[in-house]
């Protein structure tokens, strides 16, 4: 799934959950860094004062994280020596979002913990998606032997740099699946949770079978 598509789906799922659910709140969300913030994400900063849903503050936070993470862009990379810096820059760029996800995992109610674990895992998955997409496919499609060689070199150089993010994604998604197995009622409480848990299982299986 493309990064922007994933973010839109998660934001939509969270909006549906917040609109229809009420649940216990274990701890209030922590203050978050909102600068710099893409303009399209600012809508998630406020919680309507007349809202009675205890899930809404958490859902707004997770929507903000998904929106912010989905707005990350990376330019093309054609020099293998630049790939380490590219991955490092992507890791730094997702930190505001992953901080929100980790806070929700630590302090949110059950459904929020599962949603946050899925969001965290996918943030790390999308580091790899963005880094791989930074290598221009036109290099390979040119038909030039030297260009194809360069394309292969770029990918061979990149893949070891993505191992840490892959391991973090596996850890986050494994935690989500474990939470769902331990609390099947919340894991299947509504269509949003069913979709998220199924997606977490599928993504985890994919990562584990395609190292």
d(CA 71, CA 89): 14
Separation of CA 203 from chain center: 12
Q: What is the pLDDT of residues 167-192, one digit of tens each?
A: 999 999 999 999 999 999 999 998 88
Give yes or no for a contact between 167 and 173, defined as CB atoms under 8 angstroms apart.
no
The residue with tokens 């598509």 is 5
Q: What is the pLDDT of residues 128-145, one digit of tens each?
A: 999 999 998 766 566 678
pLDDT at 38: 84
The residues, ordered by sequence, that sit 6+ positions from 169 with a Cβ below 8 Å of its Cβ are 121, 122, 124, 125, 203, 207
Give yes or no for a contact between 120 and 179, defined as CB atoms under 8 angstroms apart.
no
The residue with tokens 């221009």 is 136
Q: What is the pLDDT of residues 94-127, one digit of tens each?
A: 999 999 999 999 999 999 999 999 999 999 999 9
Q: Which H helix or E strand runs over 90? A: helix 83-93
The residue with tokens 């274990």 is 26
The three-state secondary structure class of 69 is helix
Q: Is the peptide bond before 36 cis (omega within 30 degrees of 0)?
A: yes
Tokens of 158: 């990149």
Give me the long-range contacts of 182-186 (CB less than 8 A, separation at least 24): 183/110, 186/110, 186/111, 186/114
In the chain, where the domains are located: 3-209
First to last CA, the chain: 18
Q: What is the pLDDT of residues 26-65, one digit of tens each?
A: 444 555 655 678 888 888 887 766 665 677 888 888 989 9
Phi first, then psi, for residue 37 (nearest 5°) are -135, 125
pLDDT at 136: 87
């Amino acid at each position: 799934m493309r990064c922007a598509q994933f973010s839109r789906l998660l934001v939509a799922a969270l909006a549906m959950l917040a609109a229809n659910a009420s649940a216990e709140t274990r701890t209030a969300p922590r203050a978050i860094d909102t600068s710099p913030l893409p303009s399209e994400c600012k809508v998630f900063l406020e919680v309507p004062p007349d809202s009675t849903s205890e899930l809404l503050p958490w859902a707004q936070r997770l929507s903000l994280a998904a929106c912010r993470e989905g707005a990350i862009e990376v330019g093309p990379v054609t020099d293998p020596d630049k790939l380490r810096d590219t991955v490092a820059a992507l890791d730094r760029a997702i930190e505001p979002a992953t901080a929100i996800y980790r806070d929700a995992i630590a302090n949110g109610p059950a459904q929020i913990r599962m949603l946050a674990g899925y969001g965290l895992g996918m943030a790390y998955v999308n580091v790899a998606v963005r880094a791989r997409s930074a290598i221009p496919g036109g290099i390979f499609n040119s038909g030039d032997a030297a260009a194809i060689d360069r394309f292969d070199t770029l990918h061979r150089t990149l893949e070891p740099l993505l191992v840490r993010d892959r391991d973090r994604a596996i850890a986050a998604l494994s935690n989500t699946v474990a939470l769902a197995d331990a609390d099947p009622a919340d894991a299947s409480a509504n269509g949003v949770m069913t979709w998220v848990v199924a997606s977490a299982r599928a993504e985890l299986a994919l990562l584990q079978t395609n190292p």
